[in-house]
Chain A
Amino acid sequence: MSAPRTAVLALGDDALVLSHRLGEWAGNAPVLEEEVALANIALDLLGQARTLLSMAGDEDELAYLREERAFTNVQLVEQPNGDFAHTIARQLYFSAYQELLYERLAGGGTDDAELAALAAKAVKEVAYHRDHAEHWTLRLGDGTEASHRRMKDALEGLWRHTGELFRPVEGLDVDWAGLDEEWTRRITAVLERATLAVPEGPRSSPWAAGAGRQGVHTEPFGRMLAEMQHLHRSHPGASW
């Protein structure tokens, strides 16, 4: 049985959009080792996105020719890079979620053999992404006063986009409440080690229109897509 198109698109869009944001770091990272690491994570995610989007149709048509409202990635991944702490906080929240989700998809959370195989392969990559983000969370949280403050601001600023991660994705047989619980447990443990507090405050927007999974995005996403899609759209029908 194959997973519904909406499910593979949602996961594919998450990976595509976060990969794009990480690609924006190229040439701007704080240290050369991070140029390599951030590009590595971006490439892993792009690889996942290509597999997932190809399960739903033509990868380039889906990436380059859909309008903003047709993208169903969570809002967390489209958030601008901000400073390095924001990028790490975004990665920490997302990788912890993606690792748990892929573990479940690889272990019976989907009847789709192709999706299960992708999840089984990708979970190893994501474990590295999570590990990388955790290490930096520790260094920034327990580094200097300035880095602690920046990391705290980043974690708090992105907190409102974390609730959306646990809204059920149609067609995936996952215990979403259990996923949320495990995610919260893991994030709490890392933040404690990093001498940081778990942010307080709402984890989602009260807006009835919904969020990323419903195609409702944040303002910076439109500009991101404009940049990403403009060349492809400027040459209709061309091959590259």
Chain B
Amino acid sequence: MTTLLPETDRGGGPGAHEEAFDAAIAADERIEPRDWMPDAYRATLVRQIAQHAHSEIIGMQPEANWITRAPSLRRKAILMAKVQDEAGHGLYLYSAAETLGASRDELLDKLHSGRQKYSSIFNYPTLTWADVGAIGWLVDGAAITNQVPLCRCSYGPYARAMVRVCKEESFHQRQGYELLLALSRGTEAQHAMAQDAVDRWWWPSLMMFGPPDDASKHSAQSMAWKIKRHSNDELRQRFVDICVPQAESLGLTLPDPELRWNEERGHYDFGPIDWSEFHEVLRGNGPCNEQRLDRRRRAHEEGAWVREAAAAYARKHGEQDGDGRTAA
């Protein structure tokens, strides 16, 4: 497998390869798994794709929390389908990481041992049914804002996975909006539930775009490699500009007294983000960090005997095992 060779092990000398790689990036061409790529490019992509995959599977938890309590069968079907989509996104993304020579087992180990992160947004709790709507509208909305540019990312398998992921995320965002709209126009108690959820999810959603540009350690190189196409602050502004009119249509307010249209900039101004909260949650001190990781580890450990059985059966019968991979 050529993909597993480090850059220095190829014939032709690294210089020629690097030139071809740089030219492909400059021409907006896709880098494919069998193409030469710098080790650091590969490492950056593995880190980013793994973090994205982990976010999908950890992100199942806060919403799955409401599947058994969904207040109508229609809502229950929508929510189950959404949580299932997230598992599917996890699958595509782990597969995309595998094209770079990583294995799903190794990435899961890194998640379980805390060596790789997932999006901090999932360290907040879903306290009411309206949180399901707020996650769809705001969290999935922020994710889409982040991810649509990734459909043009320079690494082919990641870009192609993102096309499908974004289509599904867009459905998730609309179901969240529609759920909140029903609550906002419902009884007084339902309206209050929706407002409370938006109050709690707004600021964490803005933090999803990552630290401000001047404090973001990975941004510049990723942009040069065309893995990332827009800066954190640009994307955050785009998201705010989209949300403000949507909040008005929902009949809900956003919890920021400084939010106002700036004619000169052509954008909404918004208040300062509490980055100390962001860093604390990132450090592991958020309301649900421990709970999310514990549950993930427990599911994995409790499932070990099942995976072992599938592998043993596959060895005996020469079929694909439960992970869908051919047994050794």
Contacts and interface: CB of A to CB of B under 8 A. Distances in A.
Interface in B74-89: 74-77, 80-81, 83-84, 87-88
Interface in A31-72: 31-36, 39-40, 42-43, 46-47, 49-50, 53, 59-60, 63-64
Given A30-B307, A33-B322, A231-B71, A39 B83 contact: yes
B187 A238 contact: yes
Interface string A109-149: 00000000000000000000000000000111011101100
Contacts of A83: 302
Query: Secondary structure of the B side of the interface?
Result: helix
Interface in B179-197: 179, 182-183, 186-187, 189-190
Q: How large is the interface on A (under 10, 10 to 19, 20 to 34, 35 or more residues)?
A: 35 or more
Contacts of B71: 64, 231-232, 235, 238, 240
Given A23-B68, A27-B60, A46-B73, A34 B190 contact: no
A50 B84 contact: no
A27 B295 contact: yes
Contact of A34 (B61, B129, B308, B322): B322
Dominant secondary structure at the A interface? helix
B306 interface: yes
B15 interface: no
B60 A143 contact: no
A34 B90 CA distance: 12
Contacts of A150: 305
Interface in A1-37: 16, 20, 23-24, 26-36
B80 A42 contact: yes
B288 interface: no
Nearest to A43: B80
Contact of B77 (A26, A47, A53, A60): A47
Nearest to A142: B313
A235 B194 CA distance: 14
B323 A147 contact: no
Nearest to A42: B80
Contacts of A139: 309-310, 313-314, 322
Given A143-B313, A146-B305, A227 B77 contact: no
A31 B303 contact: yes
Contacts of B87: 32, 35-36, 39
Nearest to B306: A30
B283 interface: no
A23 to B, nearest CB: 5
Residue of A26, A46, A146, A147 with most partner-chain B CB within 10 A: A26
Nearest to A54: B73
Given A31-B307, A39-B81, A142-B313, 12 more contacts: A28-B295, A29-B299, A29-B303, A30-B302, A33-B322, A33-B323, A43-B77, A43-B84, A143-B309, A231-B69, A239-B186, A240-B72
